[in-house]
Amino acid sequence: MKIRKKVLFFAMFLMIFAGMSYAEITVEKHWTPYNPPTSYPDGTKVYIIVKGDTLWDLAGKFFNNPYLWPKIWEKNKYITDPHWIYPGDPLVIEEVETVKEAKAETQPEQEVKEFQEEKEEKVEEPTHKEIQQVNSKEEAKVTESATVADIKNAMYSITVDSPKDYEAKSFNGVVVEGDEDEQLTFAVPDVIYAKEFADGKLVANETYAVVRPEKVVKVEKDKYVVILQRLADVKVLCVNDGIATAKFIYSSHPVERGDFLVKLEYEPIPLMVDYKPKTGDCQIPDRAKMLKIYMAKDKAYHAGQGSTVVIEGGEKGGLNAGDIVQFFRKLKHIDRYIYLGEGVVLFSNDYTSTVKVVYSEKEMPVEETVAVKR
């Protein structure tokens, strides 16, 4: 009875303060890349998205279990990418049975497995083989290793055969102009114009990432890795005579003429289950498995907790999304490595991995730090 009262009180609180409506509602006009319904009949439970919302967080708020986020998505099919939702868009929220926290006596392993299977069925097939699952034999703490903003702002790499003249084969187009002739950089809410490449067409109503090559690294004979900084996302409005008109959806860095448009696949955010850093000053890293740090975000000389870095070693070297790596630095005067912190692999290609630092004890000088898979 006490639990039921708490649930009813929580539901009333959400109805009053969280933007939920139970009467006939008309959605106010706002900018969105989607085509959501503009009105709902009387009795429909509708929530209006605000800045900072995610389906994961809203499932936790309304259903007391973030793993039930596909229940929201399946009722709002106008959302084509569940990790990209926009303020002002409406969400139909239907009641579901409240699921308790993961404990041996209250949530069996099969329930968690079903939540993960629902998530995998609804989302485009990920590039990574599996998502870690909750061990329900004991209480588990499951956290996302990064935020949507981390993924949008992340560096990533592409593999090319030559460090020169790879652009037309690797990207869809190049930024050539903005809507103001004297403007040097562009961001939300600007409009830009991009020239499409013959090998990679730009398509109206499609969303593209805007990226900038930052570093080229030779990884094998006739194989190079180009490290790219993701700057923004734009939606192509139309394409005429090979020139695309595009409007910014999101920007984390100023965009310049000469930056590139590329179609990126959805990257699921890896989960960390019961993560605890493996600390200790007496750890001895395996020197045969040490990996270089190629670059930190924004070309920073040092990295720390919350930073992202691109490291040597990718899927060919056994690194995949969700793997934990440790960071070490060699002391100058003795043959000894000291422990600096840890990071989680957000995504990998054949030769490199993008890693977010999730724990650090000491500052990490990029050129002096090495990574080792834990």
Nearest 5°: CA angle at 111, between 94 and 92? 15
Question: Taking the chain, what is the end-to-end CA distance rounded to the nearest angstrom?
Answer: 47
**Tens-digit pLDDT profile for residues 196-236:** 998 778 999 999 999 999 999 999 888 999 999 999 999 99
- Rounded Cα distance, 257 and 185, in Å: 8
**Tens-digit pLDDT profile for residues 287-336:** 889 999 999 988 899 999 999 999 999 988 889 888 999 999 999 899 88
Q: pTM (2 decimals)?
A: 0.62
Identify the CA nearest to 250 among candidates 237, 238, 232, 277: 232
For the segment 261-286, the average pLDDT, to the nearest whole number, is 83
- Rounded Cα distance, 208 and 172, in Å: 9
Strand pairing category for 291-296 and 352-360: unpaired
Please give the CATH topology (third level) of the domain spanning 271-373. Elongation Factor Tu (Ef-tu); domain 3 (2.40.30)
* Structure token pair of residue 117: 């299977």
Domain ranges of the chain: 2-99, 150-262, 271-373
**Tens-digit pLDDT profile for residues 27-58:** 888 888 888 998 888 888 999 999 888 888 89
* Residue-level pLDDT at 24: 60
